[in-house]
Structures are given as C-alpha cells and as structure tokens.
Structure 1
Amino acid sequence: MTPAQPALLATLPAADDASVPDYVRDLERSAAYLPAPQREQLRRAWAIGAAAHVGQSRKSGEPYITHPVAVAGVLADQGLDVETLVAAILHDTIEDTPLTREAIATEFGDTVAELVDGVTKLDKLQFRDRQEATAESFRKMLLAMSRDLRVILIKLADRLHNMRTLGAQSPEARRRIASETLEIYAPIAQRLGMNLIKAELQDLGFRALHPWRHAVIEKRIRTQPVVRRESLVQIEAHLAQRLAKEKVLHRLVSRVKSPWSIYSKMRAEHKTLAQVMDVFGFRIVVRSVPDCYHALGVVHAAYKPLDSRFRDFVAIPKANGYQSLHTVLFGPYGSPIEVQIRTEEMDLVAERGIAAHWTYKHGGEGPNIAQSRAHSWIAGLVESQRATGSSLEFLENVKVDLFPDEVYLFTPKGDIMALPRNSTALDFAYAVHTDVGNRAVAARVDGKLVPLRTKLASGQRVEIITAKSSAPKPQWLEFVVSGKARTSIRQQLKQLEHEDAVQLGHRMLDRALEALQTSLERVPAVRLDAYLSEHRYPRLEALLADIALGNRMPQQVAQALVRESPGKAAQRAADRVPRAGDKILITGAERGVVSFANCCLPVPGDEIMGYHTAGKGVVVHRLDCPNVIDYRKSPDRWVDIGWDREVSGDFSAALKIEVDNRPGALAQVAAAIAEAESNIDRVEYLDRDANMAVMRFAIEVGDRRHLADVIRRVRRLGVVLGVQRM
C-alpha cells in the first residue's frame, strides 16, 4: 500500500447499520445468497469505494458511489460470486481515484485487483480520437476477459446501469452511447448467452436512439386488444391441458416481444407493425431432454406445425451455448404460434448465459456450456488480435463475429462447426485451421465440387481441398465474412509481400553493387552491420524490403557500402560493359512490390521498363508508353527489367472496338472474347451514334500472344469495324 492509502482508508465512513444508506441495503438484499462473512466484505468494499470517490458526483447529482454499487446489484441479481461483486463496487477506483491496484490487492486479494484492472479504461494514454480510444479499451478488456470471464460481466453490468441512467447525458452523448451499446455491448451479451441483459440493453438503446418509434411500439404492446388477450389465454389453456394429459411436468409461460425485437423484425422482414404483433409466443420449460421431445410431440398434435420452421438447438446448440427446440404452429385464430421448449437448466443458461451457475477455477461442477463456448470464442479473438495491425481493425473484426445468426456445418468426420451467416467455404477452411485456409483451392459441399467463394447453408457437409503451392490472394478479402479468415489472410498477404520485397530488393542491390564491380557477399560484415545500425534496420531483410518498396535507392545504398563518392561511382558504372543478364526478371507474381501502370497496361511479351516509386516499389511501363519520356529525366529511378521465362497470372489489357450499332453487337463481341478464354472486367461506351458505337473493353490476358488471339477473333466478326489496343 502506498503512503497515500492509509490516509484514504482512515476516512472510511462508519459501517454500522444506522449509517448504511438504502442503496447498500438493496445490494445486500440482492446478495442474500452469499454467506454473512462475504456480505460483510461487500459492506467493507462500499466503505472503501465511498471514501475513494468522496466529493465525486454523477451528472444526475447523486454521489458517484451509487453507480458502482448499482452495478454490483445488477450482478447480484445474476447470482455472481463475492469477488465479482467487490470488483464491481471498486471498478472505477483505479481510474478515477487515488486508490491503487496494490491497495485493492492488499485488502481483497489479487483476483479482485485483477478484475478491477481489467475493467479500467485506457484514459491515461493519448489517442488520435475517441474511436481509437474505444477500440484500444476494447482490446485491453478482451485480454483481461481471456484471463477471467468475469471482467466482461462487470463491464456489461456497468453499461446496463449507465443505460438505465442515460437521461442525465447530453443528446449527443446519449446517441453515441446508445449506438455503441447496440453495436458492441448488446451483441457481446448475446454472444455470451446473457439474454436478459442483452434484451434490456437493446431496449434502452432503442429508446435512446429512436424515442418516438419506441413509444409507439411500447404503447401498442401495452394496449393489446381484449380479443387478442383472450385468444392468448385460450391457446395457453389448451396447451397446458394437452401436456397435463400426457403427464409432462412443465412450466408454461406466454412470451411478450420487446419493442426492439418487434422493430428489428419489421426492418429485417419488411413487415408492418400489425403483422409482427400478430404472433403468439410461448415457452415450455420441462425437467429433462427426453421431456423436451415428448412436449414437442404434444404441441404438434395440438396444432399443426408450419413446414420448415422447426429448429433443434438442443442437439446442435448455438455458438453461445443456447439450447432449445423452436417450432411454429398454425394457430386457431389465423395467427402463428411460436413455441420454445427447453429444460430448467437450458432456461437458466438461455437467460443468464455465462453467469448461470457461476463456477470458477476452484470447486463447483465445472463450466456450463455457455462458459465453455465463451472461452473458445475469446481464445479465438485473442489469437486474432495478436495478428491484427491496429485496434480499429481488430474491433471491426469482432463486430463481424458478433452476428446473431449462425450456420451449422459438418466436417467430413461429422463434427459440427458454427460460423457467422453468409459464411463461405473459405471461412470454413480458416475455421478448421489457418494452414488449411492458406492452402485452400476449392471445396466439396455435400460431395459437389464448388469454388471457395460459395456461401454455405446450415446442415451442409464441407470438405476443403488444399494444394501445397496455393497461397492467399487479395481477392479473398472481398468475400470472406469471419474475423478469423480476414485477419489470417491479411497477415499471410503481408508476409508474402515482405518475402517478395526482400527477394526483389536483393536483386536490385546486387545489380547496383555489380555496377561498382563488387557484390553483397564481398561487402565486409562490419561495414554492412554499421550501415544497418546507422539507419536503424534490425536486420538485412528490412533494408532489402525498403529498397524494393522505393524507400531507399539501391545505387545510394551500394555507394555507402562501397564507400565511394557519387561521382566516382557513376563513372565506374558508366565504364562498365553491360551484359545481357543485367535486367531484373519478373514473373508478375511479386505481390505489393511490382505493379503495372494503368496508363499503358503492359503484358508479358511487351518491351518494358520499371520506375522506382517511393512506397509503391517498381511500377512497370511499356517502353512505348508516352510517360516514359518524363521518367528518363530521373535515371537513378529507372530500373532495367524484363519478363522471366515463366510468367504466371492474368494481366489487364484494354481494347478499343468499333462496331455497327445494331442489336446483339455487344453480345457477339463478348462471346468472341470469352471463346478466346479471356475475362471481361468492364465495358464502357466511348462514342455512339445511329450507325456506329465505339467501346472500351477492359479484359484479362495471359501474355501478348493471348492478347493477339483475342484481337484476331474479334476482328473476324462481321459487326466489327476496327480493333485497337489501348
């Protein structure tokens, strides 16, 4: 404990019954399930927290300590352990008061101190903007969650109480906090199976963002017609009677939709308020899993089920551990009846998620299914954040993973995998293993060969086909949806780009050193190390990559390594007799360090040159490109390059095609290009009148010969008046 702490703790308020405020008594009543000595700890935590926050008020004017005590009350309602409740009472002390982590650890133990520290925001660091601060705070919270899931429970309870007391904030702050709640915190609560907290967060967020819409829907729920209420009672009585006859012990409750769920359904399914409200909902809670299926048979006998609307989340739980049978029945009043059937244990997990039956490392029955799923999810997020460049990118990936709906897929061995909706075969490959995703070339879905961009549906059996020579492509980022796939692809592309940059930089530096009649191997190691140290390169590869990217000129590096004056080095380079092998050969697959100019669109077979551009690497132009005249003015940036014997990939080219302006002409040209095995990227009209149309076709070809073949096929068409490469 620091010297400041004894003075702080000396000012603790009296903890006798007469001086304890009502809000602390409310907390103790909610935590009545705890033994008396543990409830004493809560009172001690309140006393320390009140002393730490003395003089601080909320925007509503109340003493600040009322907020953390209310947060602990939310968690007590969920049945959390004493360590979590104490940490909740003290969760703002490290951030906003003189109380230190060490003082908390001394008083309540390391676990409580770790929980408080995990919830503390990073307000002491400087960020570019609020968005980045939020993202970095979330990253820290995630790392704390990975050590102890109770951190996120405190954070969610903190957010819930802030939402309950949002009225004291300015309109702008209300909108910002509500939007953040709906985008991040409510989906996290759902992902952790905490439906009670999720539902309240969503409803409070909806009320803050759209008060008028919320009021209209809430009034409609409150003033339901008498006829509807009577219908609900009749259906409930009929179902209860049928279940009792079958001797199924049960608890039957009618479900009322929240304003947010009604509003979301209206938007998602483009329905009117009347259509969404015209649905009866019931939950049947039974004793065991066999009773679930027995009850399902009873309700299907009572009312006919709606085809294709049955979902079995008991056999295949949702990603957040949620289990239940869902069915929709034809109602007697023309309205559908939505029924959920689950056990008491499933109902507890569905309502409270990871907070249900809280068990920690010591003792207990072990984690429930929601806790196990949450641990797996967070472990995946931790792996993702290690490979992510920025906090903002990581937060976006997390948002992608917080989809309310999942697809459930089978591996060839029959294992079940849950992925976000709209996931593709490539998302599945990365979910299996990062290496499987990196080497994926195609997939078999239910035995049929499909491309990696194919979207998957629940129940499909997926097998990934891999090849050792395969590698991720930038285009993959356009169709993957899971955060893990996106992060893994970006990381691998960066690695491949770095490797290509190192190789190209090596060739460029070698060529510059050869012009000075030496080589990299002949440069003394001491001199090379001194150069790397002077320019703060950790190793040679970093320097070579920088050369390839145009951030350092190879001639200048070579001169520094040889230690010659620029004039003498230029003279020696001029005196040297050039050899046929002087050109740097490219394959077209050098990712991120070699690009092809849009002004002349070079393809393999063209005579080419390279221009060294800072940050972009080598930009390749055709020698007959009009811009080359300007580049000759900077000979130090000119790169002698040529095509390697083996060139791979497709290259962009453009054709200017004049045709008779008659119906079907465009289709004939497109068909001819396709027959030549070339893809059309884009078509645009350059000119058009009653007799003739001039079009620009952006196409992909393998090399100059392939381009010539495309031009020949197009010229043969009767509707074509002329073809010219652009």
Structure 2
Amino acid sequence: MTHVLTTADDLIELVRLYNPNSSAGLIRDAYAFGEKMHEGQFRHSGEPYFMHPVAVAMILAEQQMDDATIITALLHDTIEDTKANYAQVEERFGTVIADLVDGVTKLTNLQLSSTETKQAENFRKLFMATSRDLRVTLVKLADRLHNMRTIKSMRPEKQLQKARETMEIYAPLAGRMGMQWMREELEDLAFKVINPEARASIIRRFLTLQKETGDVIEKITSDIRLELDTAGIEAEVYGRAKKPYSIWRKMQEKDQGFSRLSDIYGFRIITRSEQDCYRVLGVIHQRWKLVPGRFKDYVSNPKSNGYRSLHTTVSGRDGKRVEMQIRTREMHEVAETGVAAHWSYRDGERVENRFAVDPVKWIASLTERFDEDHDHDEFLEAVKLEMYTDQVFVFSPKGDVIKLPRGATPIDFAYAIHTRIGHACVGAKVDGMRVPLWTRLKNGQSVEIITAEGQTPQSTWIDIAVTGRAKTAIRRSLREEDKERFVKLGRELARVAFENVGKKVTEKALTTAAKALAIDDAEDMLARIGSAELSARHAVRAIYPDLQPTRAATVDKARAVVGLNPDQAHVRAPCCQPVPGERIVGITYRGKGVAVHAIDCAALIDFEEQPGRWIDVHWQEGTHGAVNTVTLDLTITNDAGVLGRICTLIGEQKANISNLTFADRKPDFYRVLVDVELRDAEHMHRVMTALEAESDVASISRHRDPNRAAEAFRD
C-alpha cells in the first residue's frame, strides 16, 4: 500500500496563507527532525507513523494557529516515542516549544478518567502547568481528533475504549474551550464506534426525509435572505443539518422518535454589526412564530469561554422547528474556533479579537481557589465538574447573576455566594416559593437562601451538593466538627479491615498507609474513613495490595439494616430500590414498619416537614444475598437474538432476572424494564458495566419511580 505524506512545503504554504511572517525555516527544521526521529515507526494501519504528527499540524494550521503550536504538533510524540529528549528539543527549538512538547507528553500519559489519588495529584500538577499555556491542550485535542478519524485500524476493544474516553472527556473539553465544531466531530466519530447501528439508522431516516421534502435547507435559506433583503440588512446566511449524534441525543432527551423530532436543521446568520444582530432577530420573529422558551441572548450575557450569539427557534415551513443563531463576524470566529481565536490571524497579522476570552484566566480562576493543603481528589472532582458540564445562570435577590454547573442545588448557590452563607443555610426559596435543598436549579430562576444562626452543614449535604467548592467546604466543616468522633470510628473500621487480611492495625501501618495515599497523617486518614470519604479497604490495599480479605459472614435478610428497634421491621422502598453499599435513610409508616430509601430518593421530598419520621440507618457489614430487586431501564437494538444475549450477560454476572417488561417498541429499538436480583451496589455496577459494553445496548440506567412509594405506603 502506498502512503502519501504531506510535505513540509505543503504545510508551510498553508501556514503562510494566514501568516506571511511565519518562520518557514523553523517549521521545515521541525518537520525534518520529527521525520528522522520517527523513522522506522509505523501506525496500526501500516502507514509511516510521522503521517500522524503532520496531520495534527495540518488540523491546527486550518485553525490558523501560531508557529509554536504547529511545530509542537510536529514534535508532540518525539519525547514520548523516540530517542529524542527534552534537552535536545530545547537546544534545537527553544524552551517554549520544548515545554509545550513536554506538556503534551504528560497529558498523553495522564489517565484523565481515573480518580485514583496518584492520578488526581498528577492531574492537579499538570492543570497548574497547562494554565500557563493552553496550546498544550489544543495540540492534544487535535491529536485525539486525528486518532478518531483513523480509529478503524485499531482493535475493536481499543476502538471502544478510545471512543468512550473521547465522548466522556475530550468532546466536552473541546466544547468547554469553545471549539464547537471539534466537539461535534469528536462526538460523531465516537458515536460511530459506540453505537454504529443507531447512527446508521438516523442517517437512513435523514436521507428518506430529504427525498420526501426536497432540499429544506436551500428553501429556508432563500426565505431568510429574501426577508433580510427586504429589510435592507446585509448578512450572510448558512444552513446545515445537525450531526447524527446531536439528533440521537435530542431523541433520548425528549424521548421522541425521529419522525416527531423537529429542530434537526440549524441556520447561522452572520451580520455586520452587533446592532444588526437584534435587527435580524426582529425580522425573523416578525416572519416566523417564536417557539416559547427557546430564545437565548448570549450577546449581552456571553458564556465564560467568550461565546456570543443570539439563539432562537421558530416554526418554519410545514410547522417544522428551525434553530437560528445570529452573530457578527468576530463573534462567529470565537464561536467556531473557541480559545484558538486567542492566537488568530487576519490579513496576515496577529489580531486581538475583542470577544475572545483568554483561556489562561479561566483556568487561573479555577486553580487559585485551591491551595496545597487541599485534597487532590477534591481538586480533580471540582475541575471535572467545571470543565465537563453545561451551566445554568440564576439570580440572587439583588439581581446578581450566579453561574453554576447544570444540576446544581440551592446548597451550591449558597456556597457560591459565601462559605458563611452555605454553612448557615436552613432552607431556600426559588422564585419566591419554598423548595427542598436538593431541588435542581434551572436557568433564569431567582434564588434566596434562608439562614439561621448556629446552623452547621449536615452530612447529607455531600450527596446533594454538585460543585467542588460546596463539597470541599462541607467536608472541611464536618471534619473539624466531628473529627474526634470520626477518628474513633475510623480506627475501628480500619482494625476490622486489617484483621480481614490477617494483619494488625499498628500506628506504623496507619502512618505508612496514609503516606501511600498522599494524606498528611494517620489521624486525617482515620477521620476520612470514619466519615465515609475513604474506604478502610483502600488503606489496607495501599500497603497490602495482594492480600485478599477473608470471606465475610452472610447477612441475615431480616437484619440487613442497622439502626432499627428490635420490634421494627423494614422494607426496601420500591421507588428507589436501595441496595447495600448505598447511603440510606429510614421513614416510619403507621402499622407498616420502616421504609428504607436511598438518600437521594425523590420521594423524600414528601417528608421534609416531618423530621420525626426520619431514622438514621445504614446497611449491615458483611455479604448480602442476591435478593435485592433493582429495575434496569435498557434501550436495545431490535434484532434477532439481542434480548437472549442480554439475559445471558446478566446470568453470567450471577444475577437473576425476576421480571421483564417492554416499555416502548420502535421499528429499530426496544426499551425494556428488567427486574434483576442483586447482592449490593458493587454487584449492580458489574451487571450494568457488562451490559453497557454490549454493542446492542444503546443506553442503560436505573429505573426509579417516586410514585411507587405513594402507592405502596399509604398511611
């Protein structure tokens, strides 16, 4: 097979198109150095390995990046995969490029999806380092994009691993950096590997729709241009169909079939000025009917990555919904390239786009909140939350806009205002109405925190809070308040865990375990074990990784829950179906004993004003029998033998199916509710992981229904 390698001259010519002052000699030197270092190396496809760094450099050149970034792309694998070292790169290309290449190497070696303490520590250090130069991240994203474009040459299991990592980490990271085009392409390439049948089905349906309706995009584009010409507004209009994964995600979110999904087309209108953006909006809303709740003004209220645009959805031809984005050319450059706009060129000159946000400031604002004394795990948790989730904007009573991750609660809002407000929180009002503290906040809501003197954070708040800032403050407060009690409890839990592997829990053993887990001292480690932040088994594994615990005694089903009176019977609440290993709470019912709920059960909202009925309970230590029914919600391919394979997979995990119900049937997919008998949370996780890895399983989740509690426990 003949492989054609893009030449150095081709790359230089592409860079010179936007940057005539580019250093052709330095790029040619980097090309030659990289080609020599990778000589004799080949990719899985059989092509010379150096084709990959060149392709990464071309991707970044298409984004009009500076020379240093292009050269880093050419050299990004030399330190890791060849005999070249940092000193050689520094001597030949300078400290800046050597640091960039070294940063990409570290980022490549880092397991971003891991929550192990060592990895969290590495992530923290690297994040601090890359905050000085985000070009490291841009090169890594381009590296991942080319790897996904050529993923077919990898082994199937490796393809699936890379695709999931891309979907969970790199695609959201690209979106967070404002590089929406890259996010969409990464998502679609990953979708093609994770669920090829669903993607192919959407493409087939889309082609059928085009045959039935003709070129809708051209028709609507012409309509928009006619309206703008009539109004005397100069603007460019572009239309496109949304990516298959974007359509699939909307189908899942709205629980609708393709035929009922309306907003599958998107249009962009690029204006000459900010004033024209609002004039265009007026023309659009006069001509077409606005869809309520779908208008967003990111021009006056831009996203934190600099994104500015007016978003609106209108009812277009034949009642079909059409999404429109209206922005200026400068706004469009930021929307297309995100942080890359910070290094952009125009007419051969490096220019400063007034809408481009310096990504360094964004990361610095995050890292400055964490000092050396904080836990690395807590830092990792906060970073991932802030990087990989969408956001909601809510208002304080004074009208200040508070930005929070999607899914945030009033507790997160309180701590975002001030730690003191968070600690003293006893309740909240949203839009003037009293709501539970676990309420999920939505865009545009007004939030008021009710405080009381003497109030302190509750341990259940850890499960309610979403932001790293709130969780960190709550944990610190709980530690300080209950440290002595937690240390005592942690010591007992550690004693049992060490005895389970035939070892004694000495002070030296505890100190060694704390050091191995990167915790300051043994007392701090014991406090975390006692507060359930750290498992005692982790402390044992830190110094005895190969020792297996002796088999724990089987727990009597009738005594599975600790914290009840001898005469109190318990039942698992059918609404949330808690299993051993999950945090639980008991609710008393007259004549019916105690219902055990998961701490995050939505049905608990009905008992907020009845604290006398709440009981503090937990699961008995030991091995529980596989008698705890959990309902799993699966969407599977409608194909011969699929359901049989699903049942076999569950059986292989030593779990029994007690019931199976078809919740929804579509031509290409089934939605099935499966009742599975499980031992504990770990057993449930193994079953769900095995099912999730099956290519014919499009989605899997636990099925929870708060109404089942009301039906089962009527006082």
Category of TM-score, reference length = shorter chain: 0.5 to 0.7
* 8 Å CA contact retained: 2:15, 2:22: no
Whether 1:184 aligns to 2:169 is: yes
The equivalent of 1:259 in structure 2 is 244
Quickly say closer, same or farther: Cα 1:358–1:676, change in 2 above 3 A.
closer
Q: 2: distance between equivalents of 1:497 and 1:682?
A: 17
- Work out whether 1:379 is the aligned partner of 2:290: no
Q: Distance in 1 between matches of 2:21 and 2:525?
A: 66
Structure 2 vs 1, CA of residues 500 and 364 (structure 1 numbering), >3 Å: closer, same or farther?
farther
The verdict on how the C-alpha distance between 1:456 and 1:127 changes in structure 2, with shifts beyond 3 A counting, is closer
1:46 aligns with 2:31: yes
Partner of 1:198: 183
1:107-133 C-alpha deviation (Å, 9 max, x unpaired)? 222221221111113788999999888
Amino acid at match of 2:130: M
Matched, 1:148 2:133: yes
Q: Which amino acid aligns with 1:41?
A: L
Once residues 307 and 63 of structure 1 are traced to their aligned partners in structure 2, the CA distance between those partners, rounded to angstroms, is 54
Distance 1:472 1:52, change over 3 A: farther
Query: Is 2:72 the partner of 1:87?
Result: yes
Task: Give CA-to-partner distance per residue, 1:573-628, whole Å, 9 cap, x none.
Answer: xxxxxxxxxxxxxxxxx9689xxxxxxxxxxxxxxxxxxxxx99xxxxxxxxxxxx
Shift of 1:83: 1.0
Show CA shifts across 1:341-364 (max 9, x none). Answer: 11111211111111114179xx96
Q: Does the CA contact (< 8 Å) of 2:217 and 2:240 recur in 1?
A: no
Distance change (3 Å), C-alpha of 1:93 and 1:488: farther
CA deviation vs aligned residue, 1:677-705 (integer Å, no higher than 9, x gap): 6124499xxxxxxxxxxxxxxxxxxxxxx
Aligned partner (choices 166, 185, 197) of residue 212 of structure 1: 197
1:311 to 2:296 alignment: yes
Tell me if structure 2 keeps the 8 A contact 1:384–1:487: no
1:202-601 aligned within 5 A: 202-222=187-207, 224-276=209-261, 279-358=264-343, 369=355, 371-372=357-358, 375-377=361-363, 379-380=365-366, 383=369, 389=375, 395=380, 397-402=382-387, 405-447=390-432, 450-466=435-451, 469-498=454-483
SS at match of 1:22: coil
Shift of 1:212: 2.5
CA deviation after TM superposition for structure 1 residue 325, in Å: 1.4
Q: 1:260 to 1:388 in 2, by over 3 A?
A: farther
Tell whether the 8 Å contact from 1:240 to 1:252 is kept in structure 2 after alignment. Answer: yes
Q: Letter of the aligned partner of 1:335 in structure 2?
A: K
Match of 1:427, SS state, is: helix
Secondary structure of the 2:326 match is: strand
What's the counterpart of residue 678 of structure 1? 612
Corresponding residue SS for 2:239: strand
Residue pairs, 1:117-136, within 5 angstroms: 117-121=102-106
The aligned counterpart of 2:63 is: 78
Of 58-67 and 215-224, more deviation after overlay is shown by 215-224
- Check conservation: 1:403, 1:420, Cα contact below 8 A: no
Q: Could you tell me how far 1:453 is from its partner in structure 2?
A: 2.7
Query: Per the alignment, in what secondary structure is the counterpart of residue 159 of structure 1?
Result: helix
Deviation by residue 1:213-238 (Cα, 9 ceiling, x = unmatched) = 22232344455434523444333222
Please list the CA deviations of residues 12-37 of structure 1 after superposition, one character each: whole Å capped at 9, or x if unmatched.
xxxxxxxx953433322321223355
Distance of aligned partners of 1:396 and 1:404 in 2 relative to their CA distance in 1, 3 Å threshold:
closer
Q: Give the conservation status (yes or no) of the 8 Å contact 1:122–1:133.
A: no
Q: Match of 1:654?
A: 565
Aligned CA RMSD, in angstroms, stands at 4.4
Distance 2:6 2:245 in 1: 33
- 1:602 aligns with none
Q: Greater RCO between the two (CA within 8 Å, min separation 6)?
A: 2
Q: Does 1:31 align with 2:26?
A: no
CA contact (8 A) 1:445 1:460 kept: yes
3-state DSSP of counterpart to 2:106: coil
Give me the whole-angstrom Cα distance separating, in 1, the residues matched to 2:527 and 2:365: 37
**TM-score normalised to the size of structure 1?**
0.64
Q: SS state of the match for residue 270, structure 2?
A: strand
Q: Distance in 1 between matches of 2:256 and 2:19?
A: 47
| Alpha-carbon offset, residue 274 of structure 1 | 2.3
One-letter code aligned to 1:380: L
Quote how far apart the aligned CAs of 1:140 are. 4.9
Q: TM-score, normalised by structure 2?
A: 0.65
User: What is the identity, as a one-letter code, of the residue corresponding to 2:12?
Assistant: E
Alpha-carbon contact 2:313-2:323 (below 8 Å) kept:
yes
Please list every run of 5 or more consecutive structure 2 residues that lacks an aligned counterpart in the other structure: 491-506, 534-538, 541-561, 570-587, 596-606, 618-715
Aligned residues: 536
- Aligned residue among 41, 47, 50 for 1:65: 50
- In the TM superposition, what whole-angstrom CA distance separates every residue of 1:393-425 from its partner, at most 9, and x where no partner exists? 755554443455321112344332221222111
Q: Which runs of 5+ in 1 are unaligned?
A: 1-19, 506-530, 551-589, 594-614, 617-650, 659-665, 684-726
Aligned to 2:81: 96
* Distance across 1 between alignment mates of 2:95 and 2:87: 9
Offset, 1:299: 0.8
The answer for the alignment partner of 1:114 in structure 2 is 99
Structure 1 residues 80, 373: CA separation in 2 closer, same or farther (over 3 Å shift)? Answer: closer
Residue 251 of structure 1 deviates from its aligned partner by 0.6
**Structure 2 contact 366–383 (Cα < 8 Å) conserved:** no
AA aligned to 1:654 is N
Q: CA 1:262 to 1:374, structure 2 compared with 1: closer, same or farther past 3 Å?
A: farther
Identical aligned residues as a percent: 40
Structure 2 vs 1, CA of residues 72 and 299 (structure 1 numbering), >3 Å: closer, same or farther?
same
- 1:324 to partner: Cα distance: 1.6
Separation in 1 of the partners of 2:472 and 2:59? 35
Shift of 1:287: 1.6
**Displacement of 1:497:** 4.3
CA distance in 2 between partners of 1:547 and 1:342 (Å): 55
Distance apart, 1:458 and its partner CA:
1.5
AA aligned to 2:366 is G
Q: Secondary structure at the match of 1:155?
A: helix
CA distance in 2, matches of 1:351, 1:672: 56
Counterpart residue identity of residue 178, structure 1: A
One-letter code aligned to 1:121: K
1:77-134 Cα distance to aligned partner (Å, 9 max, x none): 1111111111111111221222222222222222212211111137889999998887
* Aligned-partner SS, 1:352: helix
Between the aligned partners of 1:295 and 1:321, the Cα distance in structure 2 is 21
Aligned with 1:46: secondary structure?
A: helix
TM-fit CA distance, 1:193: 0.8
Contact 1:243–1:295 (Cα < 8 Å) also in 2: yes
* 2:404 counterpart SS class: strand
Q: Which of 99-108 and 121-130 deviates more?
A: 121-130
> Conserved in 2, the CA contact under 8 Å of 1:502 and 1:542?
no
CA distance in structure 2 between the aligned counterparts of 1:548 and 1:249, rounded to whole angstroms: 66
Q: What do residues 230-250 of structure 1 show as CA deviations (whole Å, max 9, x unaligned)?
A: 444333222211111111111
